[in-house]
Amino acid sequence: FCFSEQNFDFFYFVQQWPGSYCDTQKSCCYPTTGKPAADFGIHGLWPNYQDGSYPSNCDPDSPFKQSEISDLRSSMQKNWPTLACPSGDGIQFWTHEWDKHGTCSESVLDQHGYFEAALNLRNKANILQSLTNAGIQPDGKSYSLSSIKDSIKEAVGYTPWIECNVDESGNTQLYQVYLCVDTSGSGFIECPVFPRSGKCGSEIEFPTF
Ligand code: 5GP
Ligand code: 5GP
Ligand code: 5GP
């Protein structure tokens, strides 16, 4: 096994809308550090193969170490907040993401580089601003899937994939936005393959948070 070998084809960079995570039957818990801003947060940076499959949990010998990202902590709390229950400070979520996905891109990004890359991508892709600039607001109203995708493509330059989930009343809503990233983790690319997850329908709700 050659450690410098690149053993994945691209990344999915996935952001989540907190309003849609929270208004489901499962509900959510705010982080111990307080209610996150009404903005998209990072879910993860996921190595993937061209055929749609993906590696996971690649290196049990590389545990998440808080000390390696202490300089990124406040930015992580702001941009990568956890909404799962019970409430946590984010460490559990980031540990999960590192263990499951981050360890599969260690040939190009060490732990600090991995989290820093995700934060930089978040700065490059301001999804909420892309949408509000096009008049698409988190106001509980419905918007066409195509207008949502077009406004993100317009602002970011690349076609996103939208994953929907279902609120307590059964409405389909904007949950996650996928963008594809080159193997260095630094720039967006057109997706080699789109995920299959999260059926939307042509009109979807954009809930408040
Ligand atoms: P779900 O089943 O909720 O769509 O996904 C559960 C988890 O599986 C995700 O949070 C993510 O960790 C992983 N996952 C789902 N789809 C993909 C994918 O297309 N690529 C990668 N790399 N991971 C995925
Ligand atoms: P996945 O395998 O789906 O990438 O990871 C999701 C895991 O992270 C689940 O175990 C979930 O409980 C946990 N988690 C913690 N906070 C969050 C959050 O804010 N959003 C999502 N989607 N999962 C979270
Ligand atoms: P088309 O390739 O014609 O745009 O879409 C084919 C099918 O995929 C349609 O049912 C359309 O609603 C669905 N679709 C297109 N883009 C997305 C997307 O970003 N997310 C989801 N969940 N479905 C999509």
The answer to whether residue 159 is domain-embedded is yes
Closest C-alpha residue for ligand 1 atom 15: 197
Given pLDDT bands bounded at 50, 70 and 90, which one contains residue 196?
A: confident
Mutate to test the pocket of ligand 1, among 8, 53, 54, 114 (most ligand atoms within 8 A of CB): 54
Given pLDDT bands bounded at 50, 70 and 90, which one contains residue 4?
A: very low
Residues catalogued as catalytic: 43, 97, 101
- Please tell me the predicted confidence (pLDDT) of residue 5: 55
* Domain membership of residue 48 as a residue range: 10-205
The answer to whether residue 141 is domain-embedded is yes
Q: Which atom of ligand 1 approaches the CA of 55 most closely?
A: 22
The answer to whether residue 3 is domain-embedded is no
Q: Which atom of ligand 3 approaches the CA of 164 most closely?
A: 22
Distance of CA 34 to the CA centre of its chain: 20
pLDDT per residue over 30-71, tens digit each?
A: 999 999 999 999 999 999 999 999 999 999 999 999 999 999
- Total domains in the chain come to 1
The answer to whether residue 4 is domain-embedded is no
Q: Which atom of ligand 3 approaches the CA of 161 most closely?
A: 19
Write down the mean pLDDT value for the chain. Answer: 96
With a 6 Å cutoff on the Cβ, whether 159 touches ligand 3 is no
CB-count burial class (<10 Å; 0-12, 13-18, 19+) for 50: exposed
Given pLDDT bands bounded at 50, 70 and 90, which one contains residue 6?
A: low
How far is the centre of ligand 3, averaged over its atoms, from the C-alpha of 196 (Å)?
9
Q: Is the pLDDT at 2 greater than 60, yes or no?
A: no
The answer to whether residue 2 is domain-embedded is no
Given pLDDT bands bounded at 50, 70 and 90, which one contains residue 105?
A: very high
The answer to whether residue 5 is domain-embedded is no
- The CATH number that applies at residue 35 is 3.90.730.10
pLDDT per residue over 112-132, tens digit each?
A: 999 999 999 999 999 999 999
pLDDT per residue over 72-104, tens digit each?
A: 999 999 999 999 999 999 999 999 999 999 999
With a 6 Å cutoff on the Cβ, whether 43 touches ligand 2 is yes
With a 6 Å cutoff on the Cβ, whether 153 touches ligand 3 is no
75: Cβ contacts below 8 Å, ≥ 6 apart: 119
Reported pTM:
0.96
CB of 39 within 8 A of CB of 45?
Answer: no
